[in-house]
Chains A and B, each alone.
Chain A
Amino acid sequence: EAGVVQSPRYKIIEKKQPVAFWCNPISGHNTLYWYRQNLGQGPELLIRYENEEAVDDSQLPKDRFSAERLKGVDSTLKIQPAELGDSAVYLCASSTRTGVGSNYGYTFGSGTRLTVV
């Protein structure tokens, strides 16, 4: 099994430019999450999808960030325009909705390290 796949692995852009990150979750996982990890901190949730519906986007800075999960499988997270403070690692994770006692199969991808210069 491939696990949660993210691309690109690294991205360096100039401020005010747009950037997009892609995530392919584990097959059969209905729930998809985007987290942001700032340097020296733990990851923080940006948005959670149940299938194609964004059910929790309260932490997503909506003035510049957007996300979509068409067809309830792959997801894209976009920043436009990027700011210096957006430099971080963006992590995608997926899980099932059921499976008490089995950790719901919660799995993280390797992340995209974004540097805004």
Chain B
Amino acid sequence: GEDVEQSLFLSVREGDSSVINCTYTDSSSTYLYWYKQEPGAGLQLLTYIFSNMDMKQDQRLTVLLNKKDKHLSLRIADTQTGDSAIYFCAEMTGSARQLTFGSGTQLTVLP
């Protein structure tokens, strides 16, 4: 079955890089996503990567995909206090276009 796993918490100092990791089990994933959710807010799409790519960079965000190990990571460069939020990894599989989410990683940025 489908399962997406993330570590629950990450703390970093302002200005440092953050790396949030995710593992998934479905090798037929077509897209993998990173969403950001601030308290009381909806899901904000940060970035996504197509399954035939290894890396995608978008300003401060770098996504790395290791298909062999089914491992996805999100690196946030120069982390700011405004980056404090819960980050969800999600995979899309097959023609159903259903998203399966991890439980989220709470990122805390310390001043």
Residues of A near any B CB (own CB < 8 A): 31, 33, 35, 40-45, 48, 55-56, 91, 93, 95, 97, 100-101, 103-104, 106-111, 113
B97:A42 contact, CB within 8 angstroms:
no
Query: Shortest Cβ distance from A3 into chain B, in angstroms?
Result: 10
A106:B96 contact, CB within 8 angstroms:
no
Query: Shortest Cβ distance from A65 into chain B, in angstroms?
Result: 17
Q: Is B10 part of the binding interface, using a Cβ–Cβ cutoff of 8 Å?
A: no
B42:A42 contact, CB within 8 angstroms:
no
Q: Is B107 part of the binding interface, using a Cβ–Cβ cutoff of 8 Å?
A: no
Query: Shortest Cβ distance from B23 into chain A, in angstroms?
Result: 14
CA distance A82 to B110 in the complex (A): 40
Partner of A110, one of B42, B90, B92, B101: B42
Residues on A with beta carbons closer than 8 Å to the beta carbon of B103: 40-42
Main secondary structure on chain B at its contact with chain A?
strand
Please provide the chain B residues from 63 to 106 with a CB less than 8 Å away from any CB of chain A in the complex: 88, 90, 92, 96-104
When A and B form their complex, which 9 residue pairs have the shortest distance between CB atoms, in order from nearest?
A42-B101, A110-B42, A108-B43, A111-B42, A42-B88, A45-B98, A43-B101, A41-B103, A42-B103
* Chain B interface residue count, Cβ-Cβ cutoff 8 angstroms: 22
Partner of A42, one of B48, B92, B96, B102: B102
Residues of B near any A CB (own CB < 8 A): 4, 30-31, 40-43, 45, 48, 50, 88, 90, 92, 96-104
Query: Shortest Cβ distance from A28 into chain B, in angstroms?
Result: 15
A103:B31 contact, CB within 8 angstroms:
yes
Residues on A with beta carbons closer than 8 Å to the beta carbon of B50: 101
B98:A91 contact, CB within 8 angstroms:
no
Most B CB contacts (10 A, CB to CB) among A41, A42, A108 go to A42
CA distance A99 to B42 in the complex (A): 24
Given known pairs A91-B42, A108-B43, A109-B42, the reply for A45 and B104 (CB within 8 Å) is no
